[in-house]
Structure 1
Amino acid sequence: MKSRSVILMLTLGLSGCATLDRESCLSADWQLIGFNDAVAGREARRLEQHRDACKEYGVVPQIDQYLLGYDRGIPRYCTAINGYTAARDGKTLNPVCNGDPGPVFMRGFELGSVAYKQVVLLSDAERRLSALRTDQRADVRDLNDKRQLLVADGVASATRSFLLHELEELQHNIRLRTHQITQQQQTVQIERRYLMDLEADLRRQL
């Protein structure tokens, strides 16, 4: 199986936080640890991290047992639904599914990639709507501030004229943006509804 080919990679070493604590190292069921790593979609070279974590406790991983569990766990991870979910969430193709379960996982990944494109479109539409609302709130605050200045005592006529001009411009921008917000809300609703319909159709193909 594929995981056997990674034994040579275990000497490369991986940095990071300890994967196992003292108790886990001393009572380790290496077949179960391998199984759990595979089910989580981790590469088999994670065993090197386990080796580093357990080294200070004098525990050496049982490679054969780990890989035995890993080989049993890979089919649990490399399913069509996991492939779909990974791609739909924008993740890259996981190399752990290059072996026998690969075609099944890849089928799901391809369908999930279609969904992800629509997720991106929806996200872009939502960001645009959020930006419009942010700009609108800023202009409304500015409008209110200038209205207060306009009616304040002691405002020079030149300043009052300038404020009136700015108020007209702000009101125009607010009216225009109100229309844009309404249109963008409709766009978001359309994109969201399309994503729901698309995902329902794609999931039926898994």
Structure 2
Amino acid sequence: MLKQAALLCITLAMLTACASMDKSECLTADWRTIGFEDGAKGKNETAISEYRQDCADHGVTPDLTAYRRGHREGAEQYCTHRNGFAVGRSGGSYQSSCPSALEADFLSGFRDGQQLYQLQRAVNAARSAFDKQQRLLTQLEQDIVVKTELLVEDGLTRDERIALLNEIEDAKHLLIETADYMPELEQNINRAEQALARGEKNFAKYQ
């Protein structure tokens, strides 16, 4: 559980935009710690260029050596096989932040995670398509009921009744077509869910 929580924190941190540094932060910055945090978030070492731009206005130059030392230390925590999987599984991106000695192991897990992410997306897409068709089916049923009730009301001309009848018939035809398509959409969901289940089984080692 602790490992999973740590991986989640790292992944969430990746998604958080970094704020610019003000004068006080530039003057008191611990560049090794900043480098460590960036490395642990999977940010590329080139992120220091952002701090350099921020601090230049305040006459401060970042300590590149300290930053790089901290970044390597942070990257050692981030660039693991298991965390690569967590990042890929969440749909995160890789910013080429891992040292060459760690990159292959990280990318192996990252690609596995990406596979599972794509399988989950396929399930979501299949369910979304089914739900959309189900909403259309419900709407058509409601339209038919409303127009059928309107058809028997007083005050309609012959042409208006004919137009309503035509609209009802069209809705009924579309209703049949929509209903006939539902089993195929259900099968798509089942296939996608089965593929996801196989993927989860294949990558159970990451659990």
TM over 0.5: yes
Q: CA deviation at 1:22?
A: 3.5
Q: 1:17, 1:37 → 2: CA distance?
A: 10
Q: What is the letter of the counterpart of residue 184 of structure 1?
A: L
Partner residue, 1:130: 131
**In terms of mean alpha carbon deviation, does 21-30 or 69-78 score higher?**
21-30
Residue 17 to residue 35, structure 1, CA distance change in 2 (3 Å): closer
Partner residue, 2:13: none
Identity %: 27
Partner residue, 1:152: 153
Q: CA deviation at 1:142?
A: 2.8
Stretches of structure 2 that go unaligned for 5 or more consecutive residues are: 1-16
* TM-score normalised by the chain length of structure 1: 0.77
Q: How many residues align?
A: 191
What is the DSSP-based 3-state SS (H/G/I as helix, E as strand, rest coil) of the residue aligned with 1:95?
A: coil
The correspondence of residues 188-199 of structure 1 with structure 2, limited to 5 A, is 188-199=189-200
The correspondence of residues 68-79 of structure 1 with structure 2, limited to 5 A, is 68-79=69-80
Q: Summarize deviations over 1:88-125 as a string: whole Å, max 9, x none.
A: 34444431125111121021022123213312321321
Q: Give yes or no for contact 1:87–1:116 (8 Å, CA) kept in 2.
A: yes
**In terms of mean alpha carbon deviation, does 162-171 or 178-187 score higher?**
178-187
Partner residue, 2:182: 181
Partner residue, 1:94: 95
Residue 192 to residue 23, structure 1, CA distance change in 2 (3 Å): farther
Q: 1:155, 1:77 → 2: CA distance?
A: 72
Q: 2:60, 2:152 → 1: CA distance?
A: 79
Q: Give yes or no for contact 2:82–2:206 (8 Å, CA) kept in 1.
A: no
* TM-score normalised by the chain length of structure 2: 0.77
Q: Give yes or no for contact 1:18–1:53 (8 Å, CA) kept in 2.
A: no
Q: Give yes or no for contact 1:18–1:49 (8 Å, CA) kept in 2.
A: no
Q: 2:56, 2:149 → 1: CA distance?
A: 71
Q: 2:45, 2:82 → 1: CA distance?
A: 21
Q: CA deviation at 1:189?
A: 4.7
Partner residue, 2:82: 81
Residue 98 to residue 203, structure 1, CA distance change in 2 (3 Å): farther
Q: 1:60, 1:145 → 2: CA distance?
A: 72
- Taking only aligned residues, the RMSD between alpha carbons, in angstroms, comes to 2.7
Residue 21 to residue 81, structure 1, CA distance change in 2 (3 Å): farther
Q: CA deviation at 1:132?
A: 0.9
Q: CA deviation at 1:175?
A: 4.2
